[in-house]
Amino acid sequence: MLKTIYNNCAGIDVHKKVIVVTITKTNKSNITVYQTKSFSTFTEDLITCRNWLVDNQTFDVCMESTGKYWIPVFNILEVNCKCVVCHPKYVRSIPGKKTDKKDSKWIADMFKHVLVEPSFMPPADIRQLRDLMRYRNKLVNIRTGEKNRFQNSLTVSNVQIASVVSDVFGKTSQSILKLMLDNPNLTLEDISPLISKKMKSDPKDILKSINGSFDDSQVSKMTVCLNHYDAINECIESLEQQILKLTVKYSTEINLLLTIPGISETSAIFIITEIGTNMNVFISDKHLASWAGLTPRCKESAGKKQSVRIIKAGQYIKPLLVECALNAIKDKSCPYIKARYESIKKRRGHKKAIIAIARLLLVSTYHILNTGEVFDNDRFDNLLNKNIKKHNKKVQNTEDMISYLDKLG
pLDDT at residue 88, rounded to an integer: 82
pLDDT at residue 232, rounded to an integer: 95
Among the CATH numbers 1.10.3470, 1.10.287, 2.40.10, 3.40.630, which is that of 125-248? 1.10.287
Same fold? 8-112, 125-248: no
pLDDT at residue 217, rounded to an integer: 85
Query: DSSP assignment, residue 373?
Result: P
Q: How far is CA 68 from CA 16, 72, 75, 371, in A?
A: 9, 8, 12, 35
* Residue 61 to residue 70: CA distance in whole angstroms: 12
Q: What is the pTM of this model?
A: 0.82
CA 279-280-284 angle, 5° bins: 80
Q: Is 298 helix (H, G, I), strand (E, B) or coil?
A: coil
Q: Is 284 helix (H, G, I), strand (E, B) or coil?
A: coil
- Intra-chain end-to-end CA distance of the chain, in Å: 74
Domain boundaries of the chain, sorted by first residue: 8-112, 125-248, 250-375
- Looking at domain 8-112, its CATH architecture is 2-Layer Sandwich (3.30)
What does the longest C-alpha to C-alpha distance in the chain come to?
94
Q: Could you read off the pLDDT tens digit of each residue along the chain, which spans 409 residues?
A: 678 888 899 999 999 999 999 999 988 888 889 999 999 999 999 999 999 999 999 999 999 888 889 999 999 999 888 999 988 877 776 676 678 888 889 899 888 888 888 888 888 899 999 999 999 999 999 999 999 998 898 888 888 888 888 888 888 888 888 888 887 777 777 778 788 777 777 878 888 888 877 788 888 888 899 999 999 999 999 999 999 999 999 999 999 999 999 999 999 999 999 999 999 989 899 999 999 999 887 777 777 777 778 888 888 999 999 999 999 999 888 888 888 899 899 888 999 999 999 999 999 999 999 998 888 877 777 767 766 655 555 555 566 667 656 766 5
Q: Is 25 helix (H, G, I), strand (E, B) or coil?
A: strand
Q: Is 139 helix (H, G, I), strand (E, B) or coil?
A: helix
